[in-house]
Amino acid sequence: MSLLENLHWRYATKKMNGTKIPREKLDYILEAARLAPSSSGLQQYKIIVISDKALLEKIKGISYNQSQITDCSNLLVFAAWDEYYDERVSKVFNFIMDERGLPHHTMDGYKHVILSNFATYNKDWEAHHAAKQSYISFAMAIAAAAEQQIDATPIEGFLNEKLDDLLRLNGTGYKSTVILPLGYREEENDWLVNMKKVRMPREQFIQEMTIEDAADIGEAMTEDLNVFIQK
């Protein structure tokens, strides 16, 4: 099937059957996630893969008892940097330069721009920025899972701080951002499996724009703002 056909096939599986997925399919999904783009190529996140049932049971307890967590084959926990600083960024850039056979100082100018820019924000902003990068990898994993006919359920409904404590992330420079159970659907007990996939119509979701359109929108926004101020 094509990627679009696989994306039509997938859905946020509500009930999984506990069957293990083949290692080669898991590796394929993880490799797709590893190859995802990230801001400045820093890969400000990592993936923790969990299949241990006792640990999954504990995670379920801090994830509003969502059954996919214990019924899945593997749980992917995406964790992102908690802040940006020179040593951390330099380590990544030096690795890139080594892989490309270039001197470490090759990207010093760009690195300075990045760190100078981030220095204008606080650590919460930096953690949020890194977390957004992990979601790109997360989306790639979902698409790759669909391609492999593996079910996946995107989950933000968990207690981040408690998960960080459980996985001993505190002090490592990482914070959990989102989790992804992988497995196979249990069709007879999943209320969503046969429901129609619903997305916004293309004409409402996609807007093509020209420079003239942008100017018109800007003028309209200015007029709205003026009316609001006058009131």
Q: What domains are defined for the chain? A: 3-196 (3.40.109.10)
pLDDT band for position 113 (cuts 50, 70, 90): very high
For the segment 62-71, the average pLDDT, to the nearest whole number, is: 98
Q: Find the radius of gyration of the CA atoms of the chain.
A: 21
For the segment 169-173, the average pLDDT, to the nearest whole number, is: 97
Lowest mean pLDDT among 171-185, 196-210, 215-229: 215-229
- Does pLDDT of 196 surpass 60? yes
Q: Confirm if 79 and 134 have CB atoms less than 8 A apart.
A: yes
Would you call 189 helix, strand, or coil by DSSP? helix
For the segment 170-191, the average pLDDT, to the nearest whole number, is: 97
**Chain-wide mean pLDDT for the chain?**
93
Amino acid identity for residue 170 in this structure: N
Where residue 108 falls (left for φ over 0; alpha for ψ -120 to 50; beta otherwise) is: alpha
The pLDDT, as a whole number, for residue 64 is 98
Handedness of CA 124, 127, 129, 134 (dihedral sign): negative
227: which residues sit within 8 A by CB, 6+ positions away? none
Count other Cβ atoms within 10 Å, centred on residue 208.
5
pLDDT band for position 180 (cuts 50, 70, 90): very high
- Angstrom distances, CA of residue 142 to CA of 8, 68, 128, 205: 12, 15, 21, 21
For the segment 49-64, the average pLDDT, to the nearest whole number, is: 98
- Nearest CA among 43, 69, 207, 199 for reference residue 136: 43
pLDDT band for position 1 (cuts 50, 70, 90): confident
Q: Confirm if 21 and 160 have CB atoms less than 8 A apart.
A: no
pTM score, whole prediction: 0.91
The pLDDT, as a whole number, for residue 225 is 45
